[in-house]
Amino acid sequence: MTIIQEDIARAGVVGAGGAGFPTHVKLSGKADTVVLNAAECEPLLHKDKELIRNDANKIVEGLARAVALVGAKEAVIGIKEKYKDVVDAMQRALPGYMRVAPLPDVYPSGDEFILVYLTLGRVIAPGAIPLSVGAVVMNVETAFNVANVGETPVVDKFVSIAGAVANPSTVRVPLGTTLAEALQLAGGATIPNPAYVVGGAMMGRLVDDLAMPITKTTGGLIVLPSDHFIVQRKSWDWNKTMRVGRAACDQCSRCTELCPRYMLGHPIEPHRAMRSLGFNSSREADVAGTQFCSECNLCSYCSCPEGLDPRGVNHQNKARILAEKKRWTNPPFHPERADLLLAFRKTPTKRLMQRIGLDSFVNKGPLLTKSYQPKKVVLPLRQHIGAPCAPIVQKGDSVGRGQPIAIRPVADGKPALGADLHASIDGVVEEVAPDAITIVAR
């Protein structure tokens, strides 16, 4: 079946991780290569590998559709070479214009700038996107959803449940299912008074409300002791980051030397951002490059020998710079650093897990095949970058799974940036709130 970009938008497909960039927009450009991001470099997360193990042919089908839409000549699949069974599953499913690019077991190999360099040898300039070097990057679950366009819109989400749980697993649940329900599918927490991280341990966020709904971008739920290093570090506020950094940073520059984006030649130097905490006279010069920080947290969780938070400083300055519209439009760029430095300064995932205290947890997450039917789902109207969807249902309406319930609003005669939203269960609309639609199962 041939599809067009508008079919993808109507099916509700967005990036299945990160900020949820609408996939139909990403596939509207022209590129010579589509890169499938199967690196899954965040510790303890396994949903992408499980999707490939479960249905490699479906992933390849979605990838082929992406190749056709952008007019690419080939597709390259970046998978960590240590997962030999996953690599073999993909190899068996690939047509001649697709190939696997084995990746080292390092963090953050799933960062799309790093991934494009590791798979294609191309370096993306600071502030640019992969399309600037002829590439489009999509992740595994997004490819899975693109393959389903024309049959099933995005109504389910695959989520890794990991850490201190009875049965670390990958679960498939309808959108709008609560985090608490997903956790119970993995047997629940095995420790008293646990803390919860949504997303990855490195780039995810702490949450204290498991009644939150799972959305199109939810990738993982990690259960940790409340006194765990990750929990404590994610609990730091700006005042603590600033106070401790100002007192203890000795300008060793380890944060910069091991920064993945710095090694790609970008003008991001975390140690200079730390310097700005104590020397305001050089502040603007020291923080300008923070707008190119990927916020991978490697500097804060692994590189700094003093246990400081350069990422937090970068984040604060980055937010201020962007709010003040001081974006650096022509920054210095030294792409030769990639060949000179990156090959010799990778951070092994095993060492990272030891460093941040995750090596004691089971590092597997098999896909649970049993389907789950929640009694109620809450579907936020914004599960993507762009404008929230506009509801097209009312309280009391009966809806079927896969039925459109909210669509992209129209501005100046064109649909706004976003993707449509669909009912994830059969049921009755209980509430249409300004930010979400609630459906109760029949």
DSSP string covering 222-270: EEEETTSHHHHHHT--HHHHHHHHHHH-----HHHHT-HHHHTT-S--H
d(Cα 335, Cα 442) in Å, to the nearest integer? Answer: 57
d(Cα 290, Cα 385) in Å, to the nearest integer? Answer: 22
Evaluated on CA atoms 156, 214, 55, 3, the torsion sign reads: positive
Q: Tell me the backbone φ, ψ of residue 79, rounded to 5 degrees.
A: -130, 140
Element (H, E) at 341: helix 336-341
| Amino acid letter, residue 339 | D
Pairing state of beta strands 74-80 and 98-103? parallel
Please, what are the domains in the chain? 5-147 (3.40.50.11540), 156-228 (3.10.20.600), 238-355 (no CATH), 376-441 (2.40.50)
- Please, are residues 335 and 265 in contact by the beta-carbon 8 Å criterion? yes
For the record, the structure tokens of 221 come out as 């739920």
Report the Cα–Cα distance between both ends of the chain, in Å, rounded. Answer: 33
- Please, are residues 354 and 324 in contact by the beta-carbon 8 Å criterion? no
CB-neighbour burial class of residue 400 (10 A; exposed 0-12, middle 13-18, buried 19+):
exposed
> For every one of its 442 residues, what pLDDT tens digit does the chain have, with 9 covering 90 and above?
899 999 999 999 999 988 899 999 999 999 999 999 999 999 999 999 999 999 999 999 999 999 999 999 999 999 999 999 999 999 999 999 999 999 999 999 999 999 999 999 999 999 999 999 999 999 999 999 999 999 999 999 999 999 999 999 999 999 999 999 999 999 999 999 999 999 999 999 999 999 999 999 999 999 999 999 999 999 999 999 999 999 999 999 999 999 999 999 999 999 999 998 886 655 677 889 999 999 999 999 999 999 999 999 999 999 988 888 888 889 999 999 999 999 899 999 999 999 999 999 999 999 998 899 999 999 999 999 999 999 999 999 999 999 999 999 998 889 999 999 999 999 999 999 999 999 999 8
Edge-first strand order for the sheet with 421-422 is 390-391, 404-407, 421-422
Cis check: omega of the bond before 348, within 30 degrees of 0: no
pTM: 0.96
